[in-house]
Amino acid sequence: MKKLLAALGAAATISLTAFSAGAQTYPERGITIVVPFAAGGPTDTVTRLVAEAMSKDLGQQVIVENVGGAGGTLGAKQVADADPDGYKLLLYHIGMATSATLYRNLPYKTLEAFEYVGLVTEVPMTILAKKDMAANTLAELVDYAKTNADKVTVANAGIGAASHLCGMLFMSAIGTPLVTVPYKGTGPAMTDLLGGQVDIMCDQTTNTTKHIQAGTVKAYAVTTPKRLDVLPDVPTTTEGGLKGMEFGIWHGLYAPKGTPAEITERLSKSLQVALKDENVVARFAELGTVPSPEADATPAALKAKLESEIARWKPVIEAAGQYAD
Amino acid sequence: MELFDNLSLGFATASTLANLGFCFIGVLLGTLIGVLPGIGPTATIAMLLPITFQIGDPTSALIMLAGIYYGAQYGGSTTAILINLPGESSSAVTAIDGYQMARKGRAGAALATAAIGSFVAGTVSTFLVALLAPPLTGIALQFGAAEYFSLMVLGLISSIALASGSIVKALAMVVLGLLLGLVGTDIYSGTPRFNLGIREYSDGLNFVAVAVGVFGIAEILRNLEDEHERSVAVKKVSSLWPTREDWRRMAAPIVRGTFIGSALGVLPGGGAILAAFASYTVEKRISRNPGEFGKGAIEGVAGPESANNAGAQTSFIPLLTLGIPANPVMALMIGAMIIQGIVPGPNVATEQPALFWGIIASMWIGNVMLVVLNLPLVGLWVKLLTVPYYMLFPIIIAFCSIGIYSVNSNIFDLYSVAFFGFVGYVLVKLRCEPAPLLLGFVLGPLLEENLRRAMILSRGDFSTFVTRPISATLLVLTAAVLAVVLLPSVRKKREEVFVEDE
Amino acid sequence: MVIDRANALCGAIFIAFGAYFGLNSLGMELGTPFRMGPGFFPLFLAAILIVLGLAIAIPAIRVEGEPIGSLPLRGMVFILPSPVLFALTLKGLGFVPSIFLATLLASFASTKMRIPTALILAALMTAFTTAVFVYGLGLPFRLFGPWLGQR
């Protein structure tokens, strides 16, 4: 046992010296970004695009590893436990903030387990209904929902999903609870909306833009302060009469607690370069989103965002009384 | 004619030298990785996906990816036949009779049948995709929760036919599978269920881990039972090629399997999963000697393999026309498309016709390459069986461990392998068959999800299942199957009991 | 008293699984037909499983069945822990030693395996899988882990 402790101690010393030596030459090998969701989803897509651009800037391969499960918290846990050497990072969306309330037994402390690199993007949400919904404006939709509260169904992609959060926010904004229909993922929920099996859904533009453009669903509002370039005909929630219902699915890049500041700064610089990459900007635009501005792709901005979002969602989730564990 | 123009545009796109090359590399890599034991199509595609990101042209990248997909499918069937190790739910069916054929020294014929069946099915369903994609999408959208529930019930009832032994045991295995499928988190309330308090199981048990456990590990343990007395090696390989008799027997099942697979593959909510099972049921029912099924009937390989491949092909329909993935593999495809700058959706066909029709044409080209590549390889795969078994199984275990881990980077999936290897072995030893358990495992969550969703949408009114026409039709069909399937088998079961009594 | 031990045991296993799932479901909300709770469907299935288990076990009493046969104890002891060993050592030792040990362990399940053959086999497998998965496909495995002093 003593020997083991001694060995561990020695290992720790070696690794500490390795850090200080490593900070100047960082990165000297490939970096892994953990995406806490399955490959192919919107977060995975965002990460892969950014990772490719960061590889160019850092001169080292940035690999994406998918560690899905438990609403993203398994992947987050893995990074929280990783060596704070800047070689294992986490790209997680708004779930980082909501899981702090949704999960009552998180195996890490959200605000204490990570260092911050910066915000990546904030994907707007769109409020949709099935194609043959009678209402033509957001105000009409709200009226219809209020008068038919026991008939109107709202689809979501599972507890904690963007569409679930947006649905909760919509119901609290109109002050009327509706019948919630959960699905396993966005795909099947969207299928049922297209087929008219459910009435309303609110989801990220990454999933909805193509359907809105093709006219297979009706779009009522975007949850941003300004209209979107890709959907110029869709009014904002404020224009439509739902003031304060502004939110987006923001994505942040994190490192394990204790990662040296020089390294997070270096990563933050690289993220800023990546977010200006032509390919990233173009692909993000096709998905109906924009990269975060340089001022937001910083450790301080991400930290502030996470803190304010945890505070914002806590009462909404507690009011709904639904937890994920 | 528009279809002709479209197809010729597609073939012009797909048959440039570069694209043919990418298609071939895809098929080759897919086959080589997919054939490794314990590494099914999902893991294969996840592993090979990043390679396609290196290709600049989206059409080429997607053609290569489609090639990987077919290669992985076929590679998965190869391992199912040779060592009883299915990498996905559909090849669990192939494993039933394919592996028995292999044990009788007919591995070559089984592999060739699978390749030929896949090719025929692939050819027919490619044209179906080209011809019928838009109208079929409309039908698929008519399927709501009630319809899916009724479809799953039909599938489960039909699965009784998978059993070659006791019907009661097969039913118990299905129900156990359904329950195991519910392990994880209840999506409606977020409540964790049956996960022993382990967060790593909160998204459910990993299919590959369960499949490798109950099929692969259990089979290895069986072969180790009495090494000295029993020869575990398969009989001497007779002929690599199907005999004239084989050709005659496989023709009709291939045609039927193709149509069953094409029809079910279109449904995005798990229809493709049922294709292979449904085809097996049909073949066993209409066969003149159903007793042969489970003991190496060539129809039991030809039908399901064709259905499987046809379903794989037509599951591209919801992907290409709606941007909706029919299964996890299709979800990976969507990811790949988006990374290549194509957002799948209703507009792809009109905005990027060369890409859309290029992919469709490359499906067929991929199938041709698969046959060309694999028929000569049959000899090589069969040679693998001559490796002494005690050398083979450590290799199998090693590949399985890597393959299972790489799906989710979750070490708890490796613990599941050990657990289900043990449970699976004990159950097989007690003469319960593993295939119905796997079907139940895949359908369990879907069944519950759609039942509950149908009830929410109907406000708790059970009559929704019979007042909706498609759902009612499916339930009538279920009743018919139950009557046809159960009555004779109850009689047969009695006979079996008497045989056991003697 | 005679008993078909295979079927009796088989029935008992199903009943045990049914009981596990059933008891756990009872601890969860059952809900209404409109909004079924997480316990409703599994409880229903568990009940069916128990009935089926009984249907297998009860007829087994007073019937002579085929013997269960020998158990491959050696196989179980070496095969089943192999993936577990891989799981436990992958992060710490790294991919190369971990896959080597897992293959080696599994090798000894057969009485026909000799130690030199096993060592060669494990070494070849390690070389092959490292080449294919780590170098060829670029999977994010560490070759050697922190327990070996590697960073």
Measured N-to-C along each axis, helices A162-174 and A299-320 cross at an angle, to the nearest 10 degrees, of: 60
Q: Which pTM does this prediction carry? A: 0.82
Q: Is the pLDDT of residue B390 over 60?
A: yes
Contacts with C140 from chain A: Cβ below 8 Å: 32, 63, 65
Contacts with B390 from chain C: Cβ below 8 Å: 107, 109-110, 112-113
- Taking an 8 Å cut-off on Cβ atoms, the answer to whether C83 and B414 are in contact is yes
Q: Is the pLDDT of residue B162 over 70?
A: no
Confidence category of residue B382, pLDDT binned at 50, 70, 90 = confident
A14: nearest CB among C138, C140, C149: C149
- Taking an 8 Å cut-off on Cβ atoms, the answer to whether C106 and B393 are in contact is yes
Contacts with C138 from chain A: Cβ below 8 Å: 61, 63
Quote the pLDDT of residue B287: 84
pLDDT for A292-306, tens place per residue? Answer: 988 899 999 999 999
Optimal mutation site among B171, B173, B390, interface C, most CBs of chain C within 10 A: B390
From B172, B56, B88, select the one nearest B437 (Cα to Cα): B172
Instruction: Determine contact: B188 vs chain C, CB below 8 A.
Output: yes
Confidence category of residue A18, pLDDT binned at 50, 70, 90 = very low
Quote the pLDDT of residue A189: 86
- Taking an 8 Å cut-off on Cβ atoms, the answer to whether B452 and C10 are in contact is no
- Taking an 8 Å cut-off on Cβ atoms, the answer to whether C13 and B422 are in contact is no
pLDDT for B305-362, tens place per residue? Answer: 999 889 888 887 777 777 666 666 777 777 677 667 676 666 676 777 888 888 888 8
Helical H segments across B84-106, by residue range: 89-103
Q: Is the pLDDT of residue A11 over 50?
A: no
Quote the pLDDT of residue A14: 42
- What gap in Å lies between CA A170 and CA A201, rounded to an integer? 10
Confidence category of residue B494, pLDDT binned at 50, 70, 90 = very low
Contacts with B48 from chain C: Cβ below 8 Å: 137
Q: Which residue of chain C is at minimal alpha-carbon distance from B48?
A: C137
Which residue is it, tokens 């180790």?
B224
- Taking an 8 Å cut-off on Cβ atoms, the answer to whether C113 and B390 are in contact is yes
How close, in Å, is residue B448 to chain A by CA atoms?
Answer: 12
pLDDT for C108-149, tens place per residue? Answer: 988 888 899 999 999 999 999 999 888 887 777 888 888 887
Residues of A with CB under 8 A from a CB of C: 11, 14-15, 18, 32, 61, 63, 65, 83, 85
- What gap in Å lies between CA C77 and CA C108, rounded to an integer? 9
Contacts with B425 from chain C: Cβ below 8 Å: 76
Calculate mean pLDDT across residues B6-30: 87
Contacts with C151 from chain A: Cβ below 8 Å: 14-15, 18, 83, 85
Confidence category of residue A251, pLDDT binned at 50, 70, 90 = very high
Confidence category of residue A118, pLDDT binned at 50, 70, 90 = very high
Residues 27-46 of B with CB under 8 A from A: 46
Residues 175-204 of B with CB under 8 A from A: 185, 187-190, 192, 199-200, 202-203
- What gap in Å lies between CA B5 and CA B2, rounded to an integer? 5
pLDDT for A162-202, tens place per residue? Answer: 888 899 889 888 888 899 898 877 778 888 898 899 999 99
- What gap in Å lies between CA B162 and CA B22, rounded to an integer? 39
Quote the pLDDT of residue A21: 43
- Taking an 8 Å cut-off on Cβ atoms, the answer to whether A38 and B334 are in contact is no
Quote the pLDDT of residue B235: 53
C90: nearest CB among B222, B411, B422: B411
| Residues whose CB falls within 8 Å of the CB of residue B339, separated by 6 or more in sequence, listed in order | A45, A48, A49, A283, B53
Cα distances (angstroms) measured from residue B264 to each of B91, B268, B278, B313, B453:
16, 9, 9, 11, 21
B462: nearest CB among C33, C69, C129: C33
Contact B118, B375 (CB under 8 A): no
Residues of C with CB under 8 A from a CB of A: 138, 140, 146, 149, 151
Amino acid at residue number B167: I
Secondary structure of residue B346 in the 3-state scheme: coil
- What gap in Å lies between CA A59 and CA A6, rounded to an integer? 37
- Provide, rounded to the nearest whole percent, the portion of chain B with pLDDT above 70: 87
- What gap in Å lies between CA A203 and CA B31, rounded to an integer? 38
How close, in Å, is residue C123 to chain A by CA atoms?
Answer: 26
Quote the pLDDT of residue B178: 93
Copy the structure tokens of residue C102: 């897992």
- What gap in Å lies between CA B296 and CA A113, rounded to an integer? 57
Which residue is it, tokens 């009943």?
C15
| Strand pairing category for A88-92 and A248-256 | antiparallel
How close, in Å, is residue A7 to chain C by CA atoms?
Answer: 9
Dihedrals phi, psi of A256, to nearest 5 degrees: -60, 150
pLDDT for A77-99, tens place per residue? Answer: 889 988 888 899 999 999 999 99
Most confident range (mean pLDDT) of B21-35, B179-193, C119-133 is C119-133
Q: How many CA atoms lie within 13 A of B194 on its CB side?
A: 27
- What gap in Å lies between CA B131 and CA B110, rounded to an integer? 31
Q: Is the pLDDT of residue B9 over 80?
A: yes
- What gap in Å lies between CA B93 and CA B97, rounded to an integer? 8
Calculate mean pLDDT across residues B40-60: 76
The larger pLDDT score, comparing residue A65 to residue A53, is at: A53
Quote the pLDDT of residue B302: 93
- Taking an 8 Å cut-off on Cβ atoms, the answer to whether B338 and A102 are in contact is no
Residue B479, Cβ neighbours under 10 Å: how many? 12
- What gap in Å lies between CA B405 and CA C95, rounded to an integer? 12
Amino acid at residue number A189: A
- Taking an 8 Å cut-off on Cβ atoms, the answer to whether B203 and A195 are in contact is no
Contact A287, A205 (CB under 8 A): yes
pLDDT for A35-46, tens place per residue? Answer: 888 766 678 888
Contacts with A107 from chain B: Cβ below 8 Å: 199
| Residues whose CB falls within 8 Å of the CB of residue B383, separated by 6 or more in sequence, listed in order | none
Contact B61, B338 (CB under 8 A): no
pLDDT for B112-147, tens place per residue? Answer: 999 899 899 988 988 888 887 777 777 777 888 898
DSSP B121-172: HHHHHHHHHHHHHHHHHHHHHT--HHHHHHHHHHHHHHGGGG-SS-HHHHHH
In degrees, to the nearest 5, what angle opens at C-alpha B248 toward C-alphas B247 and B253? Answer: 90
Residue B137, Cβ neighbours under 10 Å: how many? 20
- What gap in Å lies between CA B328 and CA B315, rounded to an integer? 11
**Mean pLDDT rounded to a whole number for chain B:** 82
Contacts with B343 from chain A: Cβ below 8 Å: 209-210, 286-287
Calculate mean pLDDT across residues B171-185: 92
Q: Is the pLDDT of residue B497 over 60?
A: no
Residue C31, Cβ neighbours under 10 Å: how many? 18
**Mean pLDDT rounded to a whole number for chain A:** 85
Q: Is the pLDDT of residue B232 over 70?
A: no
- Provide, rounded to the nearest whole percent, the portion of chain A with pLDDT above 90: 37
Contacts with B336 from chain A: Cβ below 8 Å: 40
- Dihedral sign (CA B451, B454, B459, B465): negative
Quote the pLDDT of residue B353: 80
The larger pLDDT score, comparing residue C80 to residue B288, is at: C80
Most confident range (mean pLDDT) of A133-147, B75-89, B283-297, B380-394 is A133-147
Residue A265, Cβ neighbours under 10 Å: how many? 14
- What gap in Å lies between CA B424 and CA B222, rounded to an integer? 11
Contacts with B140 from chain A: Cβ below 8 Å: 191, 195
Quote the pLDDT of residue C1: 61
From A210, C12, A39, A302, select the one nearest B407 (Cα to Cα): A39
Secondary structure of residue A5 in the 3-state scheme: helix
- What gap in Å lies between CA B175 and CA B444, rounded to an integer? 8
- Taking an 8 Å cut-off on Cβ atoms, the answer to whether B187 and A286 are in contact is no
Neighbours of chain A (3+ CB pairs under 8 A): B, C
In degrees, to the nearest 5, what angle opens at C-alpha B451 toward C-alphas B446 and B452? Answer: 105
Q: Which residue of chain B is at minimal alpha-carbon distance from A39?
A: B332
Copy the structure tokens of residue B272: 């493709």
Quote the pLDDT of residue B423: 94
Calculate mean pLDDT across residues B38-58: 75
Neighbours of chain C (3+ CB pairs under 8 A): A, B
From B184, B161, B417, select the one nearest B299 (Cα to Cα): B161
Calculate mean pLDDT across residues C50-76: 84
Dihedrals phi, psi of B94, to nearest 5 degrees: -60, -35
Quote the pLDDT of residue B231: 46
Quote the pLDDT of residue A1: 42
Amino acid at residue number B41: P
- Taking an 8 Å cut-off on Cβ atoms, the answer to whether B186 and C38 are in contact is yes
Confidence category of residue A214, pLDDT binned at 50, 70, 90 = confident
- Taking an 8 Å cut-off on Cβ atoms, the answer to whether C48 and B175 are in contact is yes
Calculate mean pLDDT across residues A48-68: 85
| Residues whose CB falls within 8 Å of the CB of residue B236, separated by 6 or more in sequence, listed in order | B105
